[in-house]
Amino acid sequence: MAPTTVAAPNLFESFTPSATVDVPSTWRKVKDKRDGESQTAPIKLAENACQTITRAHIEIQTDPEPPLQFRLLHNYHRGTMVDFLAKVESMVSSQLLQNISSTAFDGWSAHWEEAVTSTTLLHTLFPPVREETDMLVTDLSWNKNGSTVGVAYGRFDHDSWCNHKGAVCTWSLAGRGVGDIPAWTVETESCVMSIAFHPENPSLIAGGGFNGQIFVAQTKDPKNDPIVAISKMSDITHQEPVAKVEWVPASKPGLYHIVSIGNDGKVLTWDLANDLAEPIFGSQLFMGAIPRHLRPSGTTRTETILGGTSIAFPSENPITYIVATEAGYIAKCSRSITTQLSADPSTPNATFQLPPPSQRMANPMQFAYTPHTGPVNAISCSPFHRNLFVSGGSDGLIRLYNVLQAKPLLTFSPSSLALYTSAFSPHRATVFAATSADGLLYIYDLAHSPSLPHTTLQVTSKSTVAATALAFSKGRNEYLATGDAAGIVKVWRVASGLASESVGREWRCVEALGGLLENDG
């Protein structure tokens, strides 16, 4: 039986082409292939150690050169020698005589350095940023090298007790970046009224505070406590602000005592050997030693205490010192009139009995000078002549005194306002400077003019800001620092003519002033 259905081609069957057609490439060629092998030779490793094990030292040193010896001639012809001497003696003698009285070289000084004709500002040092903002510069002191200036910050306008924190900073003027930040800072319990660098040790500073404390600080080692010693408060120490501290040579060379004067009239001597635990000597200024004609009219009690404001020590005179007082009196005092207040630290075994309060403080005043009207703010002794000192008072007068004479030798009135400072230059015998309440710095040169200032400079930003501190640098003759009531310190380069060493003319000028009375007897 034939199927009735026609086998239809399967529609869903996948169609696979039955044959492929190869079209050979007309351009491609069959690539040649070949097998090959290669290998690098194995890397050779080798280890080796070496070390030197022997050392050799050789020291060499040159022998010290034998000191030069001159040849002393013993055999010479004595006759010709006598002839020679006879011949030249008259010539040499006449020259020697001429020379000593000659004025040919007077005023001649060789200028080895380039002269600076005017006093110019070198650095401006701003106070460090602190909680107490309106602090003024109460005192300035240069260290021995003259490269670092110490600044005491405090205030003058205390109504009663001082609640401020004072500070002492030092600025180094050597090297770069001067004036950005102080090199060293210490804060103190109260306002610092006076500081003084040690005359030999460039890293020791003595200071006196408003609360009557004396302290000594070191700037050398920043890790240790900057305060080396601080005085305690007792009834024999200062009970009013310390006005001035100074280092004075003690009996042994190289040893220094601190002498402080306070607004309570006490002049105390301190020794670092007992860590300033107690003053070793003390005396107190009383009205009794002021002659009657210098006292104000009306009755004044002789036991009235005179508040000290400044102290100065004449050169080459270990016994006397000059004090200035709030009442305007200036007096010469003797260091031998003083009372021992504590056992001498150099002889610890000696027993010491504190004298009763009635005999405690001797009055050291010996001789009073013509007083200023109003407080005397500063006095300074000439470093060149033992008889000369200058004073600067609130009455605007600078007076030049001879130690042996009550009346001032010269009076200068640069300003109608108060003078805060006055200081002799440590380099030129005839130069001294003063600063006033209107911010002016006056530099006098007696060899230049005996009445007018050589240089007058505004050292503060404006004339309402007082210039409150001044210090000549002992180590660098061209540096002078001034401090003002805004807390800013300025370092000036003094004109060469004011800083150069003294020659004959200046010596004679100073000698004429200071030696006046010595000749009369």
Partner 1 sequence: MSLPKDSITKDYTDVEATLSRITSHTGVQGIVIATHEGSVIRSTLDNIQTQQISTLVTQLAARGKSVVRDLDPEDDLTFLRIRSRKNEIMVAETKQYLLITIQNPNELQKGWI
**Which residues of the shown chain bind partner 1 in the complex (CB under 8 A)?**
67-73, 76, 78-82, 84-89, 91-93, 95-97, 99-102, 105, 110, 316, 384-385, 503-504, 507-508, 511, 515
> At residue 326, what is the residue type?
E
In the chain, how long is the greatest CA-to-CA distance? Answer: 185
> At residue 42, what is the residue type?
P
- Residue 182 burial (C-beta neighbours within 10 Å; 0-12, 13-18, 19+): buried
Contact status, residue 478 vs residue 118, Cβ threshold 8 Å: no
Residue 501 CB, shortest distance to partner 1, in Å, is: 8
Beta-bridged to residue 245, according to DSSP, are 260
Residue 513 CB, shortest distance to partner 1, in Å, is: 12
* CA atoms of 270 and 344, how far apart (whole Å): 10
Name 469's Cβ contacts closer than 8 Å, sequence gap at least 6: 137, 138, 139, 140, 151, 152, 420, 421, 435, 481, 482, 483, 484, 489
Q: Which is nearer to partner 1, 257 or 385 (CB)?
A: 385
- Extended strands (E) in 210-335: 214-218, 227-230, 242-249, 256-262, 266-270, 281-284, 308-312, 320-325, 330-334
Residues in the chain: 521
Residue 397 CB, shortest distance to partner 1, in Å, is: 28
- Residue 101 has which token pair? 């009285």
Q: Which is nearer to partner 1, 15 or 108 (CB)?
A: 108
Residue 62 CB, shortest distance to partner 1, in Å, is: 20
DSSP symbol at 517: H
How distant, in Å, are the alpha carbons of 146, 155, 496 from that of 427? 13, 31, 11
What is the per-residue DSSP string for 80-106? HHHHHHHHHHHHHHHHHHHHHH--TTT
Q: Which is nearer to partner 1, 346 or 405 (CB)?
A: 405
- Residue 56 has which token pair? 């050799």
Residue 330 CB, shortest distance to partner 1, in Å, is: 24
Q: Which is nearer to partner 1, 64 or 357 (CB)?
A: 64
Residue 498 CB, shortest distance to partner 1, in Å, is: 19
Q: Which is nearer to partner 1, 385 or 428 (CB)?
A: 385
Residue 99 CB, shortest distance to partner 1, in Å, is: 5
- Residue 471 has which token pair? 């210090």
Q: Which is nearer to partner 1, 105 or 126 (CB)?
A: 105
How distant, in Å, are the alpha carbons of 53, 397, 440 from that of 375? 80, 11, 19
> At residue 224, what is the residue type?
N
Q: Which is nearer to partner 1, 475 or 515 (CB)?
A: 515
Residue 65 CB, shortest distance to partner 1, in Å, is: 13
Q: Which is nearer to partner 1, 23 or 100 (CB)?
A: 100
Q: Which is nearer to partner 1, 330 or 403 (CB)?
A: 403
Residue 402 CB, shortest distance to partner 1, in Å, is: 14
Q: What are phi and psi of 89, to 5 degrees?
A: -60, -45
